[in-house]
Structure formats: structure tokens, C-alpha cells
Amino acid sequence: MYKVRIHCRGGQGGRTAAKIIAVAAYKEGKEVQAFSIYGAERRGAPVQSFVRIADGPIYERGYITDPDCVLVLDASLLKTVNVTDGLDRNGTLMIVNATKPLKIKTKAKVVYVDVNSIAMKFLGVPIYNTTILGAFVKLTNIVKLKTMEAAIKVVLEKMPHAVEEKNVQAMKACYDVVKV
Amino acid sequence: MVRQLVTGCGAAAWAARRARVDYVPNFPITPQTELIDGIAQWVADGEWDVEFETMDSEHSVMSAAVGGAAAGGRVFTGSGSQGLLLMHEVMYIASGLRLPIVMATMSRGISAPITLWTDHTDFLDNLSTGWIMFHAQNNQEIFDSVLQAYKIAENENVLLPVMVNMDGYILSYTVEPADIASQEAVDKFLPRYNPKHAYFDPKKPPLIQGSSVLGDYYTVFRSQQHKAMSNALEVSKQVFKDFNKQFGRKYDVFETYKIEDADYVLLVQGSMGTITHEAIDRMRAKGKKVGMLRMRMIRPFPEAEFSKVLKNAKGVAVIDRNLAPGRGGIMFPEIKSALYEYDVDPIVSNFIVGLGGNNQTVKKIMQIEEKLEQDVKKGKGSVDWNDLEPGTDAYSILSKYKK
């Protein structure tokens, strides 16, 4: 089973990102489960979202304490949330939205991506949930770029077409920028 | 059949739509909001032509549901936690008037202190309301149970309202795959509602309400309600058979897993079924003779069936994700009395866990099994708060404030 944990703040779209990853993996024939935890429904509060991806039925539920990949959408969370929790195993990966390396204690591979500048360029707002998925695709190989593109379109279906397109472009731009 | 990704709320909304429900009075509450959201979106987009009515409170929602069902409509709504408690008074009226309303409930711990997260105290607060009660373990079962619920509720020998419960967030807001059956397939299983006793006709008013009665009449009405509830058990079994024939998915009043030769049985409810399933597999791999019994139908309570499958067990752990302060887990005494009734005598322990959404894991389920084995060795059942064990967050909070 492949487990993804997303850290963000309320309003930054971690929940939607989890759903998009689930939709993409499901499109590629996997079994999936996407789930989020948050306290009160308010913007700015720390939120965690989880995705489980497997070849067979998924019976586990609840928080993911031993993720294979962690996405951090807001680097300021590093001060208050233990985002590296359970990340000590080999082969785990952490993708952080930041312009430069930060002090993070972990044995996992940490990749810093300036998601903010890409999101601002394509979307004009500091919302990174779709953009960072480009890095996720490139670094994990869990789903294909084409599938991720289709998944964004499915989940953002109710949005105006232009918004949908911009999100796909931002995701692709992030994919191009990230080096494996 | 279209297998697709849905939340628990989405599965319930799809079931209501496929059941060709006439009327959905509603009021939102976390973690049920996406149900209302989803249906509202369909109505706004012109995808589903249903009488969708937003109300000022849950008390009004259930009152409107009673009105809608008394006028002969197929009625659906949903709630949970504080909202469900506010409906409570009118829920007795719905069952007393023998109205086949179906309601999805999204379990959430009850205030105070306020929590948004799941436990089953709100759902199990309804044990004496006269509603048939189902508890689902995944989004597929939510969809399936709502369809089954209408078929059971509208049966001439039943005519009672039904609740289909799901764990808030853990199912209601969790995306997972489920088969959403086609309209044609559902129509075959659940034809259009043709009410025989409830209808709106001023020239021929049905006797449904208003009469104040003395104890003799009242006793007759109540005993008939009780009889209808017993009928519901047999009717449900037939409905499960019909459902299996149409959709190829087997259901029963409860689900058992590797219970036939099990010395130790873990008894759970709701979404804990799937993590217990996983725990059983891991423990079986180590050679442990463990099994699961997941309660699905809570009312009517299938006590004879329970006792039959538990008769070979050495120990039974009743895992209650709920609390009746001063008594313990709510299902604990229910199970014990069922076993006593049928002369089945395993060691029975009560585990009170997962309150207010306290995260439950495969590991925790395995801990519970260890404790049950210890109890069997000691020859005496116990009451255990597994979430307060040293090493848990709850334990450190407790230690901090203990003088």
C-alpha cells in the first residue's frame, strides 16, 4: 500500500489535493481511500489529508502515521506541526513548498519546490494544492502525468473551464521544474 | 452498474436519488453537510427533480418528514449528533404513526465538550424510538442499506421508519469506490412507492393522528408497533435475499468474519469493521483463533442469531464506540442479556474506545484481543478504556491534570 499525507492550512485545498490523487490512482485501476482531519471549520487552522493507494481492498482507516510521501503546502506549519512524524523509514519522501532548504530533521528525502511562484504565475492566488501535484507525479511515479491532468479536470469539473485549465497548467509547470 | 468514487454522504445521496424519493426536508450539520450539498447541487443543476426543502431546524425537518410521509410521499433526510438529538421527539411520532421514512445519520460525538468527530452515542440514543436501525461499515454498504431500508420500511407487515448510520468523517467525508447501481436495476428491486395507508385526500381522510387515547388503546398501538418491529427481522432477511439476487452482494443482520472456529470474537460496529477485518487477518497469520462479529442491524435486535454464532467462543470483546455514563458501553448489556437468554456463556469484556473520533487502528484492535485473552485466562470479564493506556495522547493529557 502507498500512503500519502498532506499537511496544509484550512482553505489551502489539501482535501481537494487528496481527492485528486485518489481519483488519479483509481483511474489507473488502483483501490483508493481519501480522508481528512481538521478541528473546527476555519481558514488557517492546520489540516491533514490522507490518501491510501493499493492493488487490493483497503481495510485500514483513520490517520496515516507511517506515510510513504508527505506533502507540505505551507512551510510555516513546520513550526507547529510534526510533519515528519513516522517518516523515518528509507525510501520515504517529503515535498515542501519553499524557495530554499529549511531545517528539517528527517532521514527521508526532502525536496523543496517553489510552488508559490508557479501558482502565482498561473493561478494568481497563493493556493498550491493542484500545483504541487506536478512534483508528486514526477517524484513518486505513482500515477502518470496524463492521468493526473484528467483527475484535476474531474475534481474541478464544477469550476469554470478556464480555472480548470489553469490548474492543469500550473501542475504541469511544477512537473517540468522539479528534478528527479 | 457504475463503480465510482464517492463519499459516504455521496453514497447516501445517490441511494435517495435512485430510490426516486419525493421529498427531502433538510438542515445541514457537520459531518452530514455534503449530503445536503450534493442533493442541492443536483436540484440546482436540474439533474434531479425532487421536493428539496431547507428548514429552520432539525425538529422542523423531522416534522416535515412526518407530514410528507403521511401525505404519501417517499421521504428521505439525514442528520447526526446535536441535530439528531433535536429530532428525537418527532422521531417517536414518525414510528408511532407507522411512517416509512428513511434517514441517513452521520454519527458524531455529543456535546459537551463539543466535537465534530465520530462516536456512536448519538445513533444509539435512538434504541427505543421505534426506528429500525442499520449501521454501515463502508460507502458501498451505505448505498445498499438505504435501498434495502425503503423496501423494509414500506413492507405491509412493517411500516416503520429506518435509520442507516455511517461514521461521521471516517465514512461520511471519506472518498472510496462504490457501485452506484443503475436506475433500471434499482427500479426492479425497489418499484415506485404506492402508499396504501398514507395519502393526501381531504374527502377520505386516513386516521393518522390527533386522537388522544387512554392506556388500553395506547397499549394496543404500542404492542402492534413492537410486533411490526419483530416482523421487520424476517422481512429484512427476505429483502437481503432479493438484494443479493439483483445486485450480487450478500448482507445479513450482522457480518461475521472467520468466526466459525474462533475462540476469541471481537464485536464491533460501523467503520471499525474494516480495521478489525485487517486485524483479524494479521492475528490469524500468527496462528490466533480470532474472529469478528460486526453488528449491522441494531433494531430489531437479532439476539437469537447473535447467541447462535457466539456459542463456541471462549471470550467476546464488546467494543463500544459510545458511552452511557454510569453503565458503560451501550451495546455491552444488550449482548450480555442476549447471551444469557440463550444460555451461551463466554467471558464477555467491554472495551470503550474511539470516543469523539479518537483514532482507532489495527494495532489498537490487536491490543484489545490480547486483553480479552487475559480476561479469559483469569476467568472474568472486565471493562476497559483502551484509549487511556500509557503511551496514548489521552493518557498524557490525563496524567498532566492528575494531582
**Eight-state DSSP code of residue B109:** P
Residue recorded with cell 381531504: B202
- pLDDT tens for A123-147 read 999 999 999 999 999 999 999 999 9
The answer, yes or no, to whether residue B255 has pLDDT greater than 80, is yes
- Closest residue in B to A155 (Cα–Cα): B5
> Mutual orientation of helices A161-177 and A115-122 as an angle, nearest 10°?
150
Q: How far, CA to CA in Å, does B208 sit from each of A158, B70, B97, B100?
A: 44, 8, 6, 13
The pLDDT score that the predictor gives to residue B197 is 82
Please give, rounded to a whole number of angstroms, the shortest distance from the CA of A131 to a CA of chain B.
21
d(CA B24, CA B12): 12
Sign of CA dihedral B191, B193, B197, B201: negative
Say yes or no for a CB contact (<8 Å) between B277 and A59.
yes
Within B12-85, strands assigned E span 23-26, 51-54, 76-79
Share of chain B above pLDDT 70, in %: 98
Banded model confidence at residue B134, pLDDT cuts 50, 70, 90 = very high
CA nearest to B162, candidates B260, B367, B346, B19? B19
Q: Work out the average pLDDT over B124-139.
A: 98
Residues of A in contact with B174 (CB under 8 A): 33-35, 61
The answer, yes or no, to whether residue B314 has pLDDT greater than 80, is yes
Out of A26-40, A54-68, B31-45, B126-140, least confident range: A26-40
CB B31 within 8 A of CB B80: yes
| DSSP assignments along B151-177, one per residue | HHHTSTTT---EEEEEETTTTTT-BEE
Residues of B in contact with A60 (CB under 8 A): 274-275, 278, 361-362
Q: Work out the average pLDDT over B71-99.
A: 96
The pLDDT score that the predictor gives to residue B359 is 93
Say yes or no for a CB contact (<8 Å) between A32 and B173.
no
The pLDDT score that the predictor gives to residue B210 is 63
Residue B108 contacts A where some CB pair is shorter than 8 Å? no
Contacting residues for A79 by C-beta, under 8 A, at least 6 apart: none
The answer, yes or no, to whether residue A42 has pLDDT greater than 80, is no
CA B154, B159, B161: angle at the middle one, nearest 5? 90
CA nearest to A148, candidates A165, A172, A124? A172
Residue B33 contacts A where some CB pair is shorter than 8 Å? no
A121: domain range? Answer: 2-177
Banded model confidence at residue B2, pLDDT cuts 50, 70, 90 = confident
- Closest residue in A to B274 (Cα–Cα): A59
- For A21, phi then psi, to 5°, come to -60, -45
Residue A58 contacts B where some CB pair is shorter than 8 Å? yes
Find the radius of gyration of the CA atoms of chain B.
21
- pLDDT tens for B197-250 read 877 777 877 666 667 889 999 999 999 999 999 999 999 999 999 999 999 999
Q: Work out the average pLDDT over B60-79.
A: 96
Say yes or no for a CB contact (<8 Å) between B359 and A63.
yes
Residues of B in contact with A58 (CB under 8 A): 176, 274
Say yes or no for a CB contact (<8 Å) between B177 and A32.
yes
- Report the topology of domain B254-401: Rossmann fold (3.40.50)
- Report the topology of domain B2-247: Rossmann fold (3.40.50)
Residue A29 contacts B where some CB pair is shorter than 8 Å? no
**For chains A and B, what is the number of CB pairs under 8 angstroms?**
56
The pLDDT score that the predictor gives to residue B402 is 76
Selected residue of B2, B107, B140, B174 to mutate for chain A interface (largest A Cβ count, 10 A): B174
Say yes or no for a CB contact (<8 Å) between B275 and A62.
yes
Q: Work out the average pLDDT over A141-161.
A: 95
CATH code, domain with A125: 3.40.920.10
Say yes or no for a CB contact (<8 Å) between A62 and B360.
yes
d(CA B108, CA B355): 9
Portion 303-362 of B in contact with A at CB < 8 A: 359-362
Residue A59 contacts B where some CB pair is shorter than 8 Å? yes
- State yes or no: cis peptide before B300, omega within 30 of 0: yes
Please give, rounded to a whole number of angstroms, the shortest distance from the CA of B363 to a CA of chain A.
10
Chain-centroid distance of CA B367 in Å reads: 26
Q: Work out the average pLDDT over B181-189.
A: 97
Note the ipTM here. Answer: 0.93
pLDDT, averaged across chain B? 95
Say yes or no for a CB contact (<8 Å) between A32 and B176.
yes
Q: Work out the average pLDDT over B137-144.
A: 98
Please give, rounded to a whole number of angstroms, the shortest distance from the CA of B379 to a CA of chain A.
32
The pLDDT score that the predictor gives to residue B403 is 64
Say yes or no for a CB contact (<8 Å) between B174 and A34.
yes
Within this chain, domains B2-247 and B254-401 share the same CATH topology:
yes
Instruction: Give the SS3 label for residue A54.
Output: strand
Residue B191 contacts A where some CB pair is shorter than 8 Å? no
Domain ranges of chain B: 2-247, 254-401
Q: Work out the average pLDDT over B148-167.
A: 98
Facing residue for A62 by CB, picked from B175, B177, B359: B359
Contacting residues for B385 by C-beta, under 8 A, at least 6 apart: B351, B352, B353
d(CA A31, CA B58): 36
The answer, yes or no, to whether residue A38 has pLDDT greater than 90, is no
Residues of A in contact with B169 (CB under 8 A): 35-37
Q: Work out the average pLDDT over A150-179.
A: 95
Please give, rounded to a whole number of angstroms, the shortest distance from the CA of A61 to a CA of chain B.
6
d(CA B224, CA B266): 35
Banded model confidence at residue B326, pLDDT cuts 50, 70, 90 = very high
Adjacent-strand bridge partners of B78: B104
Facing residue for A26 by CB, picked from B30, B177, B362: B177
The pLDDT score that the predictor gives to residue B234 is 97
Domain count, chain A: 1
Count the Cβ atoms, other than its own, within 10 Å of residue A11.
12
Residue A52 contacts B where some CB pair is shorter than 8 Å? no
What one-letter code names the amino acid at B274?
A: T
In chain A, % helix, strand, coil (3-state, to 5) comes to 35, 20, 45
Contacting residues for B191 by C-beta, under 8 A, at least 6 apart: none
Banded model confidence at residue A158, pLDDT cuts 50, 70, 90 = confident
Region of residue B130 (left: phi > 0; alpha: psi -120 to 50; beta: else)? left
Adjacent-strand bridge partners of B162: B102, B132
- For A80, phi then psi, to 5°, come to -115, -20
B264-269 and B254-257 as β-strands: parallel, antiparallel, unpaired? unpaired
- pLDDT tens for A76-88 read 999 999 999 998 7
Q: How far, CA to CA in Å, does B136 sit from each of B166, B237, B318?
A: 5, 16, 17
Facing residue for A62 by CB, picked from B5, B277, B361: B361
Q: How far, CA to CA in Å, does B30 sit from each of A136, B1, B39, B220?
A: 31, 30, 16, 39
Out of B205-214, B257-266, B305-314, least confident range: B205-214
